[in-house]
């Protein structure tokens, strides 16, 4: 397995405030890095810096020709744009068949969704459309920012099941920002924890002890490890 992304001494300063500094990690093909931390710790800033949306200091080295998929935490719906779901995918030249197929994969059983105006979707539906939008380009690495926020998938199926299914088909790397500690053991190869004072990095078994969690979140975190059957 080759390294997709190598990050050395990454620091971000916005409006003269240090968001985080000297972050180091590496991500190999097919691995999942979960980024944990309280609100305001700079998790979204980290993703945006890696993608190139925000300025940073340090070194971010990508494997050549790495294709990025990005599911942002929130995209405010601009209802002034009369664009259907199918036309949204056409903006990046995705065919109708591919659009229907990828939408099925993210839980839209009915194909009528493709004719629906983007501005009329619920926030959960829109979030799922964004996930499909990111997956359809067959990325080598997927940036997932708080993917469960606003998701309304029915039954037992979660957005992580969708992610697992997609990964079975194509073994891409994932950087996942989440608050959801229960996903860490099932999803993460490594964990990067961020808060304004410290950061830690390593496999979940080593990182997620109660003492570390308290240091990250600034309070006692009760967490019971369980496995999905």
What residues make contact with other proteins under the rule CB under 8 A?
48, 51-53, 68-70, 72, 75, 78, 80-84, 87-88, 90-92, 115, 117-118, 120, 130, 133
What is the rounded distance in angstroms from the CA atom of residue 16 to the CA atom of residue 80?
A: 35
Nearer to other proteins, 51 or 200 (CB): 51
Name the minimum Å distance from CB 212 to other proteins.
Answer: 31
Name the minimum Å distance from CB 59 to other proteins.
Answer: 20
Q: Where are the alpha helices (DSSP H) in 52-193?
A: 85-90, 96-105, 123-135, 159-169, 182-187
Nearer to other proteins, 88 or 201 (CB): 88
Run of H or E including 214: helix 210-217
Nearer to other proteins, 87 or 161 (CB): 87
Which stretches does DSSP call E strand in 15-127?
Answer: 17-28, 32-36, 57-62, 68-71
Which residue reads 């006692």 in tokens?
220
Name the minimum Å distance from CB 190 to other proteins.
Answer: 23
Beta bridge partners of 191: 34, 202
Nearer to other proteins, 33 or 184 (CB): 33
């Amino acid at each position: 397995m080759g390294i997709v992304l190598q990050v050395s001494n990454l620091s971000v300063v916005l409006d003269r405030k240090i968001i985080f500094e000297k972050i180091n990690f590496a991500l190999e093909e097919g691995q999942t890095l979960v980024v944990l931390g309280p609100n305001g710790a700079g998790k979204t800033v980290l993703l945006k810096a890696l993608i190139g949306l925000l300025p940073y200091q340090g070194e971010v080295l990508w494997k050549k020709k790495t294709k990025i998929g990005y599911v942002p935490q929130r995209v405010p719906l601009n209802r002034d744009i009369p664009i259907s779901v199918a036309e949204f995918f056409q903006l990046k030249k995705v065919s109708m068949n591919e659009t229907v197929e990828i939408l099925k994969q993210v839980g839209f059983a009915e194909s009528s969704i493709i004719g629906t105006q983007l501005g009329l979707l619920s926030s959960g539906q829109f979030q799922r459309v964004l996930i499909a939008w990111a997956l359809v380009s067959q990325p080598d690495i997927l940036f997932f920012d708080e993917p469960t926020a606003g998701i309304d998938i029915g039954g037992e199926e979660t957005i992580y099941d969708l992610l697992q299914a997609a990964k079975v088909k194509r073994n891409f790397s994932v950087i996942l920002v989440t608050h959801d500690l229960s996903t860490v053991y099932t999803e993460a190869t490594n964990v990067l924890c961020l808060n304004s004072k410290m950061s830690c990095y390593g496999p979940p078994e080593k990182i997620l002890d109660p003492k570390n969690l308290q240091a990250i979140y600034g309070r006692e975190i009760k967490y019971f490890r369980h496995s999905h059957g």
